[in-house]
Structure 1
């Protein structure tokens, strides 16, 4: 019996190793970063060349899957973090690693404060840590590795996303247990955050992503969240009030399937168009072995009426090809380009190929999915960010299925038998005798 339990745990761990490809664009489109597995690939869009990363910080380079990447809002800093329990702070100008932070657990989310003074990161046990970037944000010298200080904590729930409010007053954290916490970001973060502003409660499955939508008339904006319950929701974070809910599954079902059964999808990423009331949403079909598998290849564009507090689907942009299912999307502030990436890596098969696509004028009619030769940087960019220019459809199809299965395995809370629970309790690290 013990051996069967061990094998079961090993199978879960293998599934968890699958990591989706991520993409992040510099706020002013100076560069674009893509990560798959432990590989961090950056392309300089101004000079039109791949970036050579220089890591002389007090710590090793990433050796395991990167789970979170983020540019600071000023465009001066870039953060990467993941399963190797490392958070790295990079200069987004020189691309030198300025600091390496060691985490106690695997890191699932990262965010940089609007004034570049702090980086916050979350681990898979539900703890959010904060590090003072004093001296680092000058981008001139590499400082000794800093230590994270506990800022706040979700109760043993995987934190899926971290986001600072536009005015910097709050830090928001979403988790696997359906909730979003809005915490007042203190003036002295290293002493911990002790004031909860609100909880945004209403999702019925894990929350995958959060972002703010705002325009010049509503500078503070409102919060949008995506979930495994097929919905995108709009929130007032000061009160935690749910303003509106938009179910994207009927649209997907209408386009991709004639079946009568309900269609359950997961909203995997949300990206708001800067200074606009529009947001792009990427989705994936949830794992199901009974219903037909729906392979939705496109982006759903939502309109948020900030004065009326409503969400509505504006249109769906289908992406040509047989297997491009976006795993991550990103807008740049200075252009109307939506960057998308599809791919995954589990560290044991291929080197981690990805596919990068762009949509021009996403809010216009018609929108245009750019051909490879139209992409800024051309084949040089694609070869660097993708691993090669041309990617076989079968490879991308397998990667899409791996990400879909991995997300379900990671986010859906598992049910254990009483015997299994006792086995897990007895084999916890803190129950083992010390030498």
Structure 2
């Protein structure tokens, strides 16, 4: 209830600041990422770490599960200050793809609603649209200043981007 002061579950295991935590769309797992360069997948029902994903060379700043009703539902995307996006097959506990194009730390990422694409934004002012299946860049956008957040429209055709320059931009990837 509102006002409770005790946690229902506490997951310990990261050795540094935890930057983001996300529920898997099925609601049974949580993933967290940290300045300790790791990603951990937690079981809510068993209150323990199911996977300790290591592979980034810098702080892992954000993460996103693949959409539930897609071929990417078992994937977890992570974005790091090492300038890479990694797609993890959580069931196999291995990196499926590493996307390298950014020239600096990554600050945001988002799966398209269909799970076909991952968009990444970074402190280099760039946004890249990656094909999950082909592991290649499909489109790119260069903004003014650091990219702070990105978000897909429900249709998956439009991507909104906000930056340090005080701009909110909408990109139409059908063109």
TM-score band, normalised by the shorter chain? 0.7 to 0.9
Counterparts of residues 390-405 of structure 1 (less than 5 Å): none
Structure scoring higher RCO (CA < 8 A, sep ≥ 6) equals 1
CA distance in 1, matches of 2:20, 2:50: 17
CA distance in 1, matches of 2:44, 2:65: 13
How far is 1:236 from its partner? 1.2
CA distance in 2, matches of 1:221, 1:49: 42
Counterpart for residue 319 of structure 1: none
2:142 pairs with 1:198: no
Counterpart for residue 75 of structure 1: 27
Judged with a 3 Å threshold, the aligned counterparts in structure 2 of structure 1 residues 93 and 224 are, in CA distance, closer, same or farther, namely: farther
Counterpart for residue 297 of structure 1: none
Counterparts of residues 354-433 of structure 1 (less than 5 Å): none
Judged with a 3 Å threshold, the aligned counterparts in structure 2 of structure 1 residues 221 and 71 are, in CA distance, closer, same or farther, namely: farther
Confirm or deny: 8 A CA contact 1:87 1:103 kept in the other structure. Answer: no
Considering fraction of residues, name the structure with more strand: 2
Stretches of structure 2 that go unaligned for 5 or more consecutive residues are none
Judged with a 3 Å threshold, the aligned counterparts in structure 2 of structure 1 residues 104 and 171 are, in CA distance, closer, same or farther, namely: closer
Root mean square deviation of aligned Cα: 2.5
How far is 1:161 from its partner? 0.8
Stretches of structure 1 that go unaligned for 5 or more consecutive residues are 1-43, 56-60, 136-145, 187-191, 240-435
Deviation string 1:37-85 (CA, Å, 9 cap, x unpaired) is xxxxxxx88x996222356xxxxx1121112222223323221111111
How far is 1:237 from its partner? 2.6
2:169 pairs with 1:229: no
Deviation string 1:348-371 (CA, Å, 9 cap, x unpaired) is xxxxxxxxxxxxxxxxxxxxxxxx
Judged with a 3 Å threshold, the aligned counterparts in structure 2 of structure 1 residues 166 and 48 are, in CA distance, closer, same or farther, namely: farther
Aligned residue pair count: 169
CA distance in 1, matches of 2:20, 2:84: 15
Report which of the two structures shows the higher radius of gyration computed on alpha carbons. Answer: 1
Considering fraction of residues, name the structure with more helix: 1
Judged with a 3 Å threshold, the aligned counterparts in structure 2 of structure 1 residues 184 and 96 are, in CA distance, closer, same or farther, namely: same
Confirm or deny: 8 A CA contact 1:51 1:95 kept in the other structure. Answer: no
CA distance in 2, matches of 1:112, 1:208: 19
Confirm or deny: 8 A CA contact 1:210 1:224 kept in the other structure. Answer: yes
Counterpart for residue 130 of structure 1: 87
2:163 pairs with 1:210: no
CA distance in 1, matches of 2:151, 2:83: 19
2:124 pairs with 1:177: yes
Judged with a 3 Å threshold, the aligned counterparts in structure 2 of structure 1 residues 225 and 148 are, in CA distance, closer, same or farther, namely: same
